[in-house]
Amino acid sequence: MRNRIILFALTVLTLCGIANSAQAQSQTKRKYDVAAFLYPAYASDDVRLRPFWPMGIGEWETVMTMQQRNPGHYWDRKPLWGYINEADPAVMEMEIDQATKHGVNVFIFDWYWYDGRPFMETTLNNGFLKAKNVEKMQFYLMWANHDVLNLWDTRLAKYNENNVIWQGKVDREEFEKICLRNIEMYFKHPQYYKIDGKPVFMVYDLPNLINGLGGLEQTIDALKWFRKEVRKAGFPDLELQFAMWAINLNYSGLDASKSENPQDDFIRTLGFNSSTHYQFVHFTDVNRDYKQIMDDVEKEWNRIEKEYSFTYYPHVSIGWDNSPRTVHSAVMKNNTPEAFAEALRKAKAHADKYPERTPLITINSWNEWTETSYLQPCNIYGYGYLEAVKKVFIDEEN
């Protein structure tokens, strides 16, 4: 009898060991949400783009005419897919296939609202949402609520006048209109990206948000109302996210003497849950070697984790060079696909430090051609950047 008990105990321990081993292995096999920002200016059927790009192909005009405007300039990039209309659902089907094949499973659409109505929305509405394979890809919105200067129009940008064409701030009435519209049109879509069932909504420019709504207290009230409306729509809550850069953390309306970290208090008071970066250029000198930049990026990730209580999702930018718009620019150097892949590994390792969090990693960008930060294939690196994502998040995980 005793031997049977011992044998039974050994069997249980063995099975538990196998189960624990399997569980450990399953925990190491994480499915990452790799989210690329998508700039929706490469469309041919949006009449509101014509004042900036009269050729009717959106900001492809800035890319296409670079050498014509600046003969002999070193910047001479060309898209291997051609000057495609991303508001065409057939084109977007191809892009969704390529993105998911290479490990990108979320698009973060830069979303705009100016002059009382949406701007640059056709790529999302006519292209992405009407693509036959949209179920393969998730999406969420980053409200790019910054002012519009004449930077987009290369005919005016050369004068460096920085004239404001449209303001990004909105008042409470317009804010409510925007929120209710987004809840109905986008949050309820089955492919809208959620964290723990909560639709994610990102805000780019907090000072503009606060100025438009009339101050800090008014903004707190507006965001509480937004959450309430999201819950009324049937969701558990709202995952409110903001773009991590200096302008969004420096607010003078709080008494810094009463807090050890007024910046963190400011974000918590507003009610934001999480953050990620939009571009490396927002917090470090990008006019140098990519590996040097990544050293500072890792330090910044660790600083954020130490100093702030909100959740931070690591971000990787591919490059920076906005010469197509400005002619003269800071230039990120040696940002090869190999260097980019190593940056992705660092982001993945950072995400793995926090297994309780959603493994979300953001990338700038799917198509920021005029800032030279894009995953789409080009004449310089071919499919190199996409292959880097695939190597890190698909090949090395299998």
Output the domain CATH number for residue 43.
3.20.20.80
Q: Does the pLDDT value for residue 221 go beyond 80?
A: yes
Helix H or strand E encompassing 202: strand 198-203
| Token representation of residue 302 | 């660790």
pLDDT category of residue 124 using cuts at 50, 70 and 90: very high
Q: Does the pLDDT value for residue 263 go beyond 80?
A: yes
Evaluate whether residue 10 is within a structural domain.
Answer: no
The boundaries of the domain holding residue 257 are: 33-397
Q: Does the pLDDT value for residue 225 go beyond 70?
A: yes
Q: According to the model, what pLDDT value does residue 26 have?
A: 41
Evaluate whether residue 3 is within a structural domain.
Answer: no
Q: According to the model, what pLDDT value does residue 254 have?
A: 57
pLDDT category of residue 104 using cuts at 50, 70 and 90: very high
How many domains does one find in the chain?
1
User: Is omega for the bond preceding 21 within 30 degrees of 0, making it cis?
Assistant: no
CA distances in angstroms from 32 to 232, 316, 359, 389, listed in the order given: 30, 14, 5, 11
Evaluate whether residue 324 is within a structural domain.
Answer: yes
Which of 23-32, 55-64, 263-272 has the weakest average pLDDT? 23-32
- For residues 6 and 93, the model is more confident at 93
Evaluate whether residue 391 is within a structural domain.
Answer: yes
Evaluate whether residue 26 is within a structural domain.
Answer: no
pLDDT category of residue 255 using cuts at 50, 70 and 90: low
Q: Does the pLDDT value for residue 398 go beyond 90?
A: no
pLDDT, tens digit, for every residue of 355-388?
999 999 999 999 999 999 999 999 999 999 999 9
pLDDT, tens digit, for every residue of 172-219?
999 999 999 999 999 999 999 999 999 999 999 999 999 999 999 999
The interaxial angle of helices 384-393 and 89-101, nearest 10 deg, is 50
Evaluate whether residue 393 is within a structural domain.
Answer: yes
DSSP-derived secondary structure letter, 147: P
Evaluate whether residue 105 is within a structural domain.
Answer: yes
User: Rounded distance, CA 212 to CA 222, Å?
Assistant: 11
114-133 mean pLDDT: 97
User: Rounded distance, CA 65 to CA 14, Å?
Assistant: 68
Q: According to the model, what pLDDT value does residue 122 have?
A: 97
β-pair type (198-203, 239-243): parallel
Evaluate whether residue 23 is within a structural domain.
Answer: no
